[in-house]
Amino acid sequence: MAKKKSVSTKKAKVAPADPGDLLSIRRKRAKSVIASLKTLFPQAECALNHESAFQLLVATILSAQCTDERVNQATPVLFRIYPCAASLAKATQEDVERIVKPLGFFRNKAANIRGMAQALVERFHGEIPQDIEELITLPGVGRKTASVVLGTWFGIPSGVVVDTHVKRLTNLLGLTSSENPEIIERDLMAFIPQSEWIEFSHRLIHHGRRTCIARRPKCTECGLLPHCPRTGLKPLEEL
């Protein structure tokens, strides 16, 4: 009796997509996402209350691992007592800590904004430098913080701000496959037009806070649903 041929149960491996193809797909998808975001949020603005570049820089430093709402509750008192870099540079650590204590990590945050103010006075005459490489030399200022200030206040697109919302939604929408904010920023800058860098982040952050909420997404109300893999879009690696 002839032996039956065994049938392999192994699934055929899908060859990874060419990097150039992925870039083209992501660019096309990003174009559609950007158009939808513009319709949903035509006037997206920074959620941190501020009246100057200095105040925005302070508020952004304080917003690390803290909600913008809580920061906005603390900064009116802080800015009334210390309205500029020169006044904050002279503040004591204890006095600043008392004001920012509700924001968490208050000792480090107080030290960072005081150190930032002192460096501004000593090296930049109290003025916020409009160059990202100079900005990130200040205590407590990384690329994300610098990009927020340069983009929001000065209108300078120095990069794409990647906060927790941007990180989560760009992965969900298939615009990146990385969990590293620096890699995500590089991915996005490769196919999002520079003229869209500033508003793209603002709009995506608004969408993450209002509709695509991490633990309770309002999918039936989502204006980005046509671009979302939850509706059947394949992961980029399978396209």
Per-residue pLDDT reduced to its tens digit, 77-110 = 999 999 999 999 999 999 999 999 999 999 999 9
Do 169 and 204 reside in the same domain of the chain? yes
In one-letter notation, the amino acid at residue 138 is: L
Q: What is the mean pLDDT of residues 212-221?
A: 91
Q: What is the pLDDT of residue 236?
A: 45
CATH of the domain at 182: 1.10.1670.10
Q: Which of 121, 152, 183 is the last residue of a domain?
A: 152
What is the band of 233 on the pLDDT scale with cuts at 50, 70, 90?
low
- Please list the alpha-helical segments (H only) found in the chain: 19-40, 53-62, 68-81, 85-89, 93-100, 106-124, 132-135, 143-152, 164-172, 181-191, 197-210
Query: Is a pLDDT exceeding 90 seen at residue 8?
Result: no
DSSP assignment of 112-147 equals HHHHHHHHHHHHHTTPPPS-HHHHTTSTT--HHHHH
CA-to-CA dists, residue 154 to 38, 71, 83, angstroms: 21, 21, 19
pLDDT of residue 19: 62
Q: For residue 92, give its domain range.
A: 53-152
pTM: 0.83
Q: Is 111 helix (H, G, I), strand (E, B) or coil?
A: helix
* Domain termination site, one of 124, 152, 180: 152
CA dihedral 195, 196, 202, 208 (to 10 degrees): -170
* pLDDT the model gives residue 232: 52
Exactly one of 109, 144, 167, 187 is catalytic; name it.
144
- Verify that 196 and 139 share a domain, yes or no: no
**Active-site annotation holds for 144:** yes
pLDDT at 175 (0 to 100): 95
Residue-wise pLDDT for 121-160, tens only, equals 999 999 999 999 999 999 999 999 999 999 999 999 999 9
The catalytic position among 163, 187, 218, 234 is: 163
Same domain, 147 and 165: no
* Same-domain status, 203 and 126: no
Asked if 128 and 180 sit in the same domain, the reply is no
DSSP state of 63: T
Residue 14 has what pLDDT? 41
Domains of the chain: total: 2
